[in-house]
């Protein structure tokens, strides 16, 4: 499980690893690095279950708006981060799910 921090430090885009298990670039489809950096940003600051759902949906929507094959990756990526991402999200407040 990721370190849980009720007061995370400032964000810097260099803290992101991009798509983690998904390549940041696809041949003929360009880069989605900006979408993955924003998702890492959202996970860094964390919040509630609703905040996690919004972060994951924002990532999927960002991939849908990208050209080419990103549209095909959007749903599998959303399903992956919705489940596996539970242990990496910075949970805050009551009702924190157990990982």
Q: What is the pLDDT of residues 40-93, one digit of tens each?
A: 999 999 999 999 999 999 999 999 999 989 999 999 999 999 999 998 899 886
The total domain count for the chain is 1
Per-residue pLDDT, 93 = 61
Q: CA 53 to CA 73: how far, in whole Å?
A: 18
SS3 at position 13: helix
Residue with the two structure tokens 């400032």: 10
Q: Assess if residue 44 is contained within a domain.
A: yes
Handedness of CA 9, 15, 21, 23 (dihedral sign): positive
Per-residue pLDDT, 5 = 78
Q: Assess if residue 74 is contained within a domain.
A: yes
Instruction: Tell me the average pLDDT across 22-41.
Output: 88
Per-residue pLDDT, 29 = 84
Q: Assess if residue 20 is contained within a domain.
A: no
Per-residue pLDDT, 79 = 96
Per-residue pLDDT, 94 = 52
Q: Assess if residue 25 is contained within a domain.
A: no
Residues 6+ apart with CB under 8 A from 8: 44, 45, 46, 90
Q: Assess if residue 64 is contained within a domain.
A: yes
Q: Assess if residue 77 is contained within a domain.
A: yes
Range of the domain at 79: 36-91
């Amino acid at each position: 499980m990721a370190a849980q921090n009720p007061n995370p430090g400032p964000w810097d885009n260099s803290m992101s690893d991009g798509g983690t298990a998904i390549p940041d670039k696809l041949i003929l489809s360009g880069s989605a690095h900006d979408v993955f950096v924003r998702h890492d940003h959202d996970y860094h600051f964390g919040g509630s279950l609703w905040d996690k759902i919004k972060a994951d949906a924002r990532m999927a929507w960002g991939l849908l708006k990208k050209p080419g094959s990103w549209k095909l990756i959007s749903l599998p990526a959303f399903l992956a981060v919705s489940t596996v991402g539970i242990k990496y999200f910075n949970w805050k407040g009551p009702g924190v799910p157990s990982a």
